Amino acid sequence: MNKTPLPREDLDVLEGYHSPQLDVPVRLNTNEAPFPLPNSFIQELESEIKKLDLNRYPSRSASELCASIADKELLKESEVFVANGSNEIIQSICLAYGGNERSALVFEPTYAMHSKIAKVAGTRVIEGFRDEEFQIDKDTALEIINREKPEIVFLCSPNNPTGNIESPELIDAILSELNSTGGLLVLDEAYKEFSESSSDLTVNEESNLAFIRTFSKVWSLAGIRLGYLLAPEWCINMMQAVSLPYHLDSVKQKAGVLALKHDKEIIRKVTELKEERRRVFEALTSMSVRVWPSEANFLLFKPETIDAYKLWEGLLEEGVLVRDCSTWEGLKGCLRVTIGSKSENNSFLTAVRKIVK
């Protein structure tokens, strides 16, 4: 019998990223946009695909897409890096600045892929923890950074799966510390457009700050898998150094360029989702359910009269799929629901009302 190769020992404890993809009428478990881009986008994309030389490799620099993003973000093209979803951005960061005898700091509960990808890249993960309201204590965070001196600190704002933003004071304090120690602060802003808060933070060549953004949420392109990083040129140069050649295909690059031209439609849809978020929040609070305020396109909630998993199962029986977070550290008894279309949200609320009664 052949002896099979052994995987790295540090991978034994890792599990795949699991979010059930079940065939139900209402899927509200993965924070996707409930609306597609307008039909005109599909027509434009079909037309542009016909012009592509698919027998040729795509642009390595993705210059057209980077220029379009830079124009939107009021930055230079050289301060933009694009990849296959925000997860490849995280991977590139960990390949460039993580690895053997290096560390990344996360604050749980937060987006699971920050720590998972860091571990896959051979990076030691340091865990800080949030309080009962999912806030990060500034002094505790600075103490960890001063003691451990991590090469990377991940902050998710709005945070997934809790929905809260990180305070400007916390971000400023951590960034100031990392500018001294040489660490990189990565601000994952996948849900930025759904927030009611604004920030004047931007890319600065003299500051160790980088921003992750995605086309999966606001831009309704989860199926395309497209994300981007905004960062100083020295950081972007390292992203390009560790990325595979031709890693972003021609169709994906063109889809991103065309999507950005539909910003007016997107802004209108985001406004509608914010209104729905408020409506769903108020409806849940009128039931026997605790709901946390959110500045993302989802709500974290905790049933008070029924076991969370029983509610999850009951919703599934009613044809509604939400995310079960009840076994995650710091989220005992919690579920998360994506804000969908009005009809999807109505189905969810009707089912919750029926089950908790």
Of 64, 77, 53, whose CA–CA distance to 253 is shortest? 64
Residue 170 pLDDT grade (very low, low, confident, very high; cuts 50, 70, 90): very high
Per-residue model confidence (pLDDT) at position 16: 60
Per-residue model confidence (pLDDT) at position 25: 94
Indicate if the pLDDT at residue 337 is higher than 70.
Answer: yes
Residues 192, 166: Cα–Cα separation, whole Å: 11
Express as a percent the part of the chain with pLDDT over 90: 91
- 3-class secondary structure, 223: coil
Residues 212, 228: Cα–Cα separation, whole Å: 6
Per-residue model confidence (pLDDT) at position 18: 60
- 3-class secondary structure, 159: coil
Of 207, 210, 230, 251, whose CA–CA distance to 51 is shortest? 251
Per-residue model confidence (pLDDT) at position 211: 98
Indicate if the pLDDT at residue 13 is higher than 70.
Answer: no
Residues 152, 234: Cα–Cα separation, whole Å: 15
Per-residue model confidence (pLDDT) at position 23: 85
Average pLDDT over residues 288-298: 96
Kindly provide the residue ranges of all beta strands, DSSP E only, lying in 22-71, ordered along the sequence. 26-27
pLDDT digits (tens, 9 = 90+) for 122-137: 999 999 999 999 999 9
Single-letter residue type at 68: S
Per-residue model confidence (pLDDT) at position 288: 86
Per-residue model confidence (pLDDT) at position 239: 98
Q: What number of other Cβ atoms are within 10 A of residue 288's Cβ?
A: 13
Residues 231, 240: Cα–Cα separation, whole Å: 12
Q: HSE-up of 124 (CA within 13 Å, CB side)?
A: 9
pLDDT digits (tens, 9 = 90+) for 60-99: 999 999 999 999 999 999 999 999 999 999 999 999 999 9
Q: Tokens 């910003």 identify what position?
A: 263
Residues 81, 239: Cα–Cα separation, whole Å: 7
Per-residue model confidence (pLDDT) at position 21: 73
Radius of gyration of the chain (CA): 21
Average pLDDT over residues 147-170: 97
Residue 4 pLDDT grade (very low, low, confident, very high; cuts 50, 70, 90): confident
Indicate if the pLDDT at residue 268 is higher than 90.
Answer: yes
Count H helices, E strands: the chain? 11, 13
CATH topology of domain 17-37+264-356: Aspartate Aminotransferase, domain 1 (3.90.1150)
Q: Which helix (H) or strand (E) element contains residue 99?
A: none
Residue 248 pLDDT grade (very low, low, confident, very high; cuts 50, 70, 90): very high
Q: What is the overall mean pLDDT for the chain?
A: 95
Q: Do domains 17-37+264-356 and 39-261 have the same CATH topology?
A: no
Average pLDDT over residues 219-247: 97
Per-residue model confidence (pLDDT) at position 199: 86
Outline where 212-323 has alpha helix (H): 233-242, 250-259, 263-285, 308-317
Q: How far apart are the first and last CA of the chain?
A: 59
Per-residue model confidence (pLDDT) at position 17: 58
Phi-psi label, residue 184: left if phi above 0, alpha if psi -120 to 50, beta otherwise: beta
CATH 3.40.640.10 describes domain 39-261: yes
Per-residue model confidence (pLDDT) at position 19: 65
Residue 11 pLDDT grade (very low, low, confident, very high; cuts 50, 70, 90): confident
Interaxial angle between packed helices 342-356 and 263-285, expressed in degrees from 0 to 180 and rounded to the nearest 10: 10
Question: Domain residues of the chain, as ranges?
Answer: 17-37+264-356, 39-261
Q: Are 184 and 152 in contact (CB under 8 A)?
A: yes
Predicted TM-score (pTM) of the model is 0.95
Output the CA torsion 126→130→131→134 (10° steps). Answer: -170
Residues 241, 232: Cα–Cα separation, whole Å: 14
Q: Are 231 and 203 in contact (CB under 8 A)?
A: yes
Residues 201, 248: Cα–Cα separation, whole Å: 28
